[in-house]
Structure 1
Amino acid sequence: MAIFFNEVDRTFHLQTIQTSYMMQIVNEGYLAHLYWGERVREARMPRPLRYRDRGFSPNPNSDDRSFSLDTLPQEYPGYGNTDFRSPAVYIDQNNGSRITDLRYLTHRIYNGKPKLQGLPATYTENESEADTLEIDLYDHVIRLKVTLQYTVYHDYSAITRSVKYRNEGKETVRLEKVQSMNVDFRDSKFEMINLPGAHVRERDIERLALRRGSQSVESRRGSSSHHQNPFVALVRPETTETCGEAYGFSFVYSGNFKAEIEVDQTEQTRVNIGINDFDFSWKLEHNQTFQTPEVVMVHSSKGLGEMSRIYHNLYGDRLIRGRYRDQERPVLINNWEATYFDFDETSILNIADRAKDAGIELFVLDDGWFGKRHDDFTSLGDWFVDQEKLPNGLNALAEKINAKGMQFGLWFEPEMVSPESELYKEHPDWCLHVPDRRRSQARNQLILDFSREDVCNEMIKRVSVILESAPINYVKWDMNRNMTEIGSAFWPEDQQKEVAHRYILGLYYVLEKITSRFPDILFESCSGGGGRYDPGMLHYMPQTWTSDNTDAISRLRIQYGTSLVYPISSMASHVSEVPNHQVGRITPLSTRGHVAMDGNLGYELDVTKLTEEDIQEIKQQVDFYKTVRQTIQFGDFYRLVNPFNEKDYGSIHVNQDKTEAVFIHVNQLAEPNGPFKSVKLSGLDPDKDYKVEELDAIYGGDELMRIGLNIPYPNRDFNSTLYRLSAVN
């Protein structure tokens, strides 16, 4: 058991392999936060809570002016009861009150981890893998039970948290803010890291010192978004990749979210994260429950690199599910940047022929195969084959590609509908909309109302018919716009603020049904590239199209930022043609290959227009990648050179027994008469010797990590280096 309760001093102690997390029931039942950090053996607390009369901090117990919720480090703070900081919960009641007073009621400790109803979450495969603590807090006035759920994994230094609400009162209440977790730190000597960005420029790394007052990271776009990611970290100013404290908060959700960090009057820091309370309200009637999504919390005392590897391992092993969780991902070619909408069966088969010559294993037919889809103005929702482009149908095309020894994949966008479509003409109220308001379009499309079960079931039916019609091994599931005019013709007026969250619940319902019905299909999530790259989607789809930007140099920053949280096995990365379609840059094919090999290798270009020399180079890339993809996709990943701070990029993938490694380095811009460069490697066994295959030289792991390895002098922009290291003892 990794969770302990001391009945004498009423403390809870949660232990992972490397960390401890402590709470205490204090002063008439309030739940206080004591400690989260490096693991300790016992919770004897040499630094107990201290109290002092802080003027203008009122007291719930008038007999003790030193005790105030305004200064108490809390586990799950409410509103209006002497705490002026941002609450984790805010509830509207029928009498106009918004006050909550949550006190400890009881708790349970048990083996295993419960599923969250209707929501994705990390999981266990047997009860011995984790222990769970549930603490019931209770507001006796409105008879509201709030259950804090904590799970501690034995093999991963991670703690998951979520909250379940149950209305045991007779009066209906409205949940206006329901964060999934809260942590109050006793100091503010932190910097905040988040992952802002934009379409084709996802997941930059931003690191700023905390200031007094509030700072937040959020999405109001109906999805987790290109613009922010549902992740924040607090780190000490001295924290680097390899040393220092890092606290990570990753939200397992694909819709609107908000992470708040507040530094208070006594320089304590409050962190909470959950569904965005902006434009959110949930009607909770007698005996109804509401479950919040999960937050995965990771503490590292050895820098950001260790924090990332904990997330990589946990998400790779116990968030991603299904056949492809542990299986090497195929090298694919996608026809989008080769043909866009302009293709037919002959042109597709010609591309497949050349791709097969290069050793590529999977052909993916992208947008344009259905309805009357000759551009992006029509046909979304009409999931039937365009007989003009594919007169013999999908099955015949797939079988012809299979006959070449390749698998076949297909693009969908099931959450969307074109106003110019048969589906929209039949069901104009099936999209998100508000009466008497325009239906704003983006990419000439509207969003289907997945808050409705009938719409969800119809899309399950339409997609399933296609997936059953041909030997389809892969699906790219796209979503190319954010929500506007959020409303539903199905839900009553007093539940319209529930629609955005109900949409996400409907999406998860659809994904659960389809991925369960077709367990042998590899699903890849996409939203204009990386616009919904979040843990919620990874639960159903083991990989994500990292960005619509396929430029190798742009990808260095995008993939570096993505790796802060998400496993390499989830990161789809493709070689495209030059000049690049997004930024016009011309980079060597070798560099494009090396950058794409830093994730799940694929190609997105018209191979029929390449020279034989280029085809042979691609074949060499593919052949090499197949020999190391187990290490790249499932090994330990170390960031070596930060492209946000340096002119270069460097990384290394190391397999589990440290017998093989793949080192990648990219020089972004050559300098005239520039310096010689070297890089210290990471993750190797210092007691092993490694042969660097491309140099035909043997060095000690300790030498490579402590002295470093020379980088070839760059004689041009965008020069890259890839070395394979093999242990020789």
Structure 2
Amino acid sequence: MEYYVEMKLRKDAHNGGFSNGLTLCGGESTRGLEKIQVEDSKIVYKNNTNHYVTLNMVHNKDTVEVSTLFENKGTEGTTLEMLSSFALQGIKADKIHRLQSFWSAEGKLRTETIEELHLEPSWNRCGMRVEKFGNLGSMPVRKYFPFIALENSETHEFTAVQLYSPYSWQIEILCKEDETLSLVGGIADRDFGHWFKHIAPGETFTTPKTVIARGNSLYEVCDKLVKAQRPDISELDQDMGIMFNEYCTTWGNPTLENIKKICNQLKDKAVKYLVIDSGWYGKNEGWWASIGDWDINYEKFPGGLKKAADYIRECGMIPGLWFEFESVGRLSKHWDNSEHLLKKDGVVLTVGDKRFWDMSDPWVKEYLNKSVIQTLKECGFGYIKIDYNDTIGIGCDGAESLGEGLRQRILSTQEFFRKIKAEIPDIVIENCSSGGHRLEPSMMELVSQASFSDAHETTAIPIIAANMHRVIQPSQSQIWAVMRGSDSNQRIYYSIISTFFGRMCLSGDIYDLSEEQWNLIEEGMEFYKEAADIIKYGKTILCENSTKSYNNPQGEQLVIREYGKKQLVIAHRFENSKEISLDFLENRELIKEYGVIDCDFTAKAWLIG
């Protein structure tokens, strides 16, 4: 396998081999690069118009971080239409692993052979074969995660890639001359992502980074990629604390009265955070339509939010508050504030009932500083849930291309995340985007936690939660267990055990629960605490799942996570399930167990030494 660079400049010819329109790789721009320097940490190329391209490589213990720097040292401007973050060639592989993702169904493993993808080289090696996929817009985890793994099943070698791109991205698999594959990825290009970038003489451009791992199993390479992420975890959030989010309790209608009611139920229950979700603002016109108006609803919160935050703290918990600060709802007073809203082709960009602030606009930054940061400070909130419930799409005005306009605005959003942390250093930030649409590593590195999905009460929760082990750190993956007074003991076990895949988040009608139900929940909370180190520091070594449908899961799931000499084993049975084999208990010490797994839609967890 060899590292190299792919590039397309506007002035240069496209590649042949029937590839124009499929890929911008392999054209005159790439062929015109001369390699002038090779070191362990970088490869430097130069073309005949004094453009220098440097592939920077940071070799860590288990991974390689790569990014590409373009420098225009010539006398004329040029336009980049594609520049790879990473490019690998000479890979021998026969299977491709990707992670598909839609709303409330994140991270489904998709495995295909080279033959199924039609990536065998043509008989005389003249036709380019291309599989190109990615995402367009400001929800980078929609349809696919920015991840791929190539497997050589003969040698059991895996090469996996995770792209750090919070905006439009692409990954390409290519073959032409021989039986090996090339793998290329980065910013979604001129053809795929409506992106191009003018580079004047003396200017530079650096791509988003990529992390690459190699190993002998899919579990191994995924674990290496996930552990290479460096999230900015709040000092307050190092202990895997349990949270309660009231959204599935009030359904967007929090009030001081019902927050107090929740607090009174939780104050002796070892819950660390209580998050007030959507609907605390506006004029009782619905939480969705009022987004953008962050004026406290004093009918719901007499005396203001500080009174609610203070009561939460008096009950021993850290108060949290929900925002969707990048968006403006249809009933917002800012709906027609077109001067500061994103536009596409000169027209305000509208998606359903949403419009979007231009996050690079100084007026918007100041407005959000007052509305978001000052509200958090003045009311004493220690936790912020940042939601984001639709996508900009292919891009927006404000730069030389729609894709570049998008890229710049998303980088401004990330800067606002950093500003929140700079202004309130110990705050716990949760990354949410209709659940999991922003579970992408550059976003995950800015936050303490993330909402794993909006699958709050579905039977697919344990499937989605287990999927997340391949792409984000479980210690950041916030998994919901929604409690109802009508829940059977089996349902409580099923829900609580699902949270053992990451961070436990409770919700629901907790004041309707019986003493017996609370006893089961608290028993699960104690199990979670004892398993916390394995969840946080461990490695997932097995994930067996026989189901295909997320709406109607069939079969069983068994997941084993290991840390030191201890293992956390999590089993769920779905419809038409079989008994779970307990072979993993042979010759092991049983430390603790929780749950009952004796029929469909039951679950059990074991701690073994």
Which TM-score applies when normalising by structure 1? 0.74
Larger of the two Rg values belongs to structure: 1
Following TM superposition, by how much is the alpha carbon of 1:624 offset from its aligned partner in structure 2, in angstroms?
2.6
What corresponds to 2:95 in structure 1?
A: 191
- Say which SS state the counterpart of residue 572 (structure 1) adopts: strand
In the alignment, the residues of structure 2 paired with residue 515 and residue 149 of structure 1 have an alpha-carbon distance, to the nearest angstrom, of: 29
In the alignment, the residues of structure 2 paired with residue 282 and residue 453 of structure 1 have an alpha-carbon distance, to the nearest angstrom, of: 23
**Is it true that 1:723 corresponds to 2:600 in the alignment?**
no
What corresponds to 1:287 in structure 2?
A: 202
What corresponds to 1:15 in structure 2?
A: none
**Is it true that 1:507 corresponds to 2:413 in the alignment?**
yes
**Is it true that 1:245 corresponds to 2:157 in the alignment?**
yes
Q: Structure 1 159/371 Cα, relative in aligned 2: closer, same or farther at 3 Å?
A: same
Q: For residue 179 of structure 1, what is the amino acid of its counterpart?
A: S
**Is it true that 1:520 corresponds to 2:426 in the alignment?**
yes
Following TM superposition, by how much is the alpha carbon of 1:434 offset from its aligned partner in structure 2, in angstroms?
3.0
Q: For residue 164 of structure 2, what is the amino acid of its counterpart?
A: V
Q: Structure 1 434/313 Cα, relative in aligned 2: closer, same or farther at 3 Å?
A: closer
Alignment of 1:650-729 (within 5 A): 650-655=558-563, 657-658=564-565, 660-671=566-577, 677-680=581-584, 690-694=588-592, 714-726=597-609
Alignment of 1:132-151 (within 5 A): 133-141=41-49, 143-151=50-58
**Is it true that 1:219 corresponds to 2:130 in the alignment?**
no
Contact 2:135–2:143 (Cα < 8 Å) also in 1:
yes
What corresponds to 1:630 in structure 2?
A: 533
What corresponds to 2:350 in structure 1?
A: 440
Contact 2:560–2:569 (Cα < 8 Å) also in 1:
yes
Following TM superposition, by how much is the alpha carbon of 1:612 offset from its aligned partner in structure 2, in angstroms?
2.4
What corresponds to 2:385 in structure 1?
A: 476
**Is it true that 1:163 corresponds to 2:68 in the alignment?**
yes
Per-residue CA deviations over 1:268-287 (Å, capped at 9, x if unaligned) read 21101111112111111111
Q: For residue 148 of structure 1, what is the amino acid of its counterpart?
A: L
Q: For residue 172 of structure 1, what is the amino acid of its counterpart?
A: G
What corresponds to 1:378 in structure 2?
A: 289
Following TM superposition, by how much is the alpha carbon of 1:551 offset from its aligned partner in structure 2, in angstroms?
3.2
**Is it true that 1:597 corresponds to 2:500 in the alignment?**
yes
Following TM superposition, by how much is the alpha carbon of 1:517 offset from its aligned partner in structure 2, in angstroms?
2.2
Following TM superposition, by how much is the alpha carbon of 1:107 offset from its aligned partner in structure 2, in angstroms?
5.1
What corresponds to 2:181 in structure 1?
A: 269
Alignment of 1:11-410 (within 5 A): 74-76=4-6, 80=13, 101-106=32-37, 133-141=41-49, 143-153=50-60, 156-187=61-92, 189-210=93-114, 211-212=118-119, 213-237=129-153, 244-277=156-189, 278-301=193-216, 303-315=217-229, 319-324=230-235, 327-372=238-283, 374-410=285-321
**Is it true that 1:429 corresponds to 2:327 in the alignment?**
no
In the alignment, the residues of structure 2 paired with residue 399 and residue 81 of structure 1 have an alpha-carbon distance, to the nearest angstrom, of: 63
Contact 1:283–1:495 (Cα < 8 Å) also in 2:
no
**Is it true that 1:464 corresponds to 2:369 in the alignment?**
no
What corresponds to 2:126 in structure 1?
A: none
Following TM superposition, by how much is the alpha carbon of 1:88 offset from its aligned partner in structure 2, in angstroms?
6.9
Per-residue CA deviations over 1:525-553 (Å, capped at 9, x if unaligned) read 01000011110111101321010002363
Q: Structure 1 186/424 Cα, relative in aligned 2: closer, same or farther at 3 Å?
A: closer
Q: For residue 452 of structure 1, what is the amino acid of its counterpart?
A: D
What corresponds to 1:558 in structure 2?
A: 464
What corresponds to 1:121 in structure 2?
A: none
Q: For residue 263 of structure 1, what is the amino acid of its counterpart?
A: C
What corresponds to 2:123 in structure 1?
A: none
Following TM superposition, by how much is the alpha carbon of 1:181 offset from its aligned partner in structure 2, in angstroms?
0.7
What corresponds to 2:404 in structure 1?
A: 498
Per-residue CA deviations over 1:155-180 (Å, capped at 9, x if unaligned) read x3100110011111222211111120
Contact 1:138–1:145 (Cα < 8 Å) also in 2:
yes
Q: For residue 139 of structure 1, what is the amino acid of its counterpart?
A: N
5+ residue gaps, structure 2: 120-128, 549-553
In the alignment, the residues of structure 1 paired with residue 419 and residue 14 of structure 2 have an alpha-carbon distance, to the nearest angstrom, of: 44
Contact 2:195–2:401 (Cα < 8 Å) also in 1:
no
Following TM superposition, by how much is the alpha carbon of 1:408 offset from its aligned partner in structure 2, in angstroms?
0.8
- Say which SS state the counterpart of residue 195 (structure 1) adopts: strand
Q: For residue 562 of structure 2, what is the amino acid of its counterpart?
A: V
Identity of aligned pairs, percent?
21
What corresponds to 1:58 in structure 2?
A: none
Following TM superposition, by how much is the alpha carbon of 1:389 offset from its aligned partner in structure 2, in angstroms?
0.8
Per-residue CA deviations over 1:78-109 (Å, capped at 9, x if unaligned) read 67487757777699xxxxx9686111233566
Contact 1:253–1:293 (Cα < 8 Å) also in 2:
yes
- Say which SS state the counterpart of residue 351 (structure 1) adopts: helix
Contact 2:485–2:514 (Cα < 8 Å) also in 1:
no
In the alignment, the residues of structure 2 paired with residue 392 and residue 274 of structure 1 have an alpha-carbon distance, to the nearest angstrom, of: 50
Following TM superposition, by how much is the alpha carbon of 1:259 offset from its aligned partner in structure 2, in angstroms?
0.5
Q: For residue 206 of structure 2, what is the amino acid of its counterpart?
A: Q
In the alignment, the residues of structure 2 paired with residue 624 and residue 447 of structure 1 have an alpha-carbon distance, to the nearest angstrom, of: 43
Structure showing greater relative contact order (alpha-carbon pairs closer than 8 Å, 6 or more residues apart): 2
Q: For residue 382 of structure 2, what is the amino acid of its counterpart?
A: N
Contact 2:137–2:395 (Cα < 8 Å) also in 1:
no
In the alignment, the residues of structure 2 paired with residue 437 and residue 534 of structure 1 have an alpha-carbon distance, to the nearest angstrom, of: 29
Following TM superposition, by how much is the alpha carbon of 1:294 offset from its aligned partner in structure 2, in angstroms?
0.4
Per-residue CA deviations over 1:183-214 (Å, capped at 9, x if unaligned) read 01254x32111111211111111001122221
- Say which SS state the counterpart of residue 37 (structure 2) adopts: strand
In the alignment, the residues of structure 2 paired with residue 637 and residue 330 of structure 1 have an alpha-carbon distance, to the nearest angstrom, of: 21
Following TM superposition, by how much is the alpha carbon of 1:321 offset from its aligned partner in structure 2, in angstroms?
2.2
- Say which SS state the counterpart of residue 136 (structure 1) adopts: strand
Q: Structure 1 180/283 Cα, relative in aligned 2: closer, same or farther at 3 Å?
A: same
Which TM-score applies when normalising by structure 2? 0.88
Contact 2:96–2:112 (Cα < 8 Å) also in 1:
yes
Following TM superposition, by how much is the alpha carbon of 1:150 offset from its aligned partner in structure 2, in angstroms?
0.4
Following TM superposition, by how much is the alpha carbon of 1:411 offset from its aligned partner in structure 2, in angstroms?
0.8
Contact 2:254–2:276 (Cα < 8 Å) also in 1:
no
In the alignment, the residues of structure 2 paired with residue 89 and residue 168 of structure 1 have an alpha-carbon distance, to the nearest angstrom, of: 23
Following TM superposition, by how much is the alpha carbon of 1:592 offset from its aligned partner in structure 2, in angstroms?
0.7
Contact 2:593–2:604 (Cα < 8 Å) also in 1:
no
Contact 1:88–1:181 (Cα < 8 Å) also in 2:
no
In the alignment, the residues of structure 1 paired with residue 582 and residue 154 of structure 2 have an alpha-carbon distance, to the nearest angstrom, of: 24
Per-residue CA deviations over 1:229-249 (Å, capped at 9, x if unaligned) read 11111112468xxxx221111
Contact 2:556–2:572 (Cα < 8 Å) also in 1:
yes
Contact 1:640–1:680 (Cα < 8 Å) also in 2:
no
Q: Structure 1 528/386 Cα, relative in aligned 2: closer, same or farther at 3 Å?
A: same
Q: For residue 501 of structure 2, what is the amino acid of its counterpart?
A: D
- Say which SS state the counterpart of residue 313 (structure 2) adopts: helix
Alignment of 1:633-652 (within 5 A): 633-644=536-547, 647-652=555-560
In the alignment, the residues of structure 1 paired with residue 235 and residue 518 of structure 2 have an alpha-carbon distance, to the nearest angstrom, of: 28
- Say which SS state the counterpart of residue 596 (structure 1) adopts: helix
Q: For residue 57 of structure 2, what is the amino acid of its counterpart?
A: Y
Following TM superposition, by how much is the alpha carbon of 1:323 offset from its aligned partner in structure 2, in angstroms?
3.3
Q: Structure 1 680/606 Cα, relative in aligned 2: closer, same or farther at 3 Å?
A: same
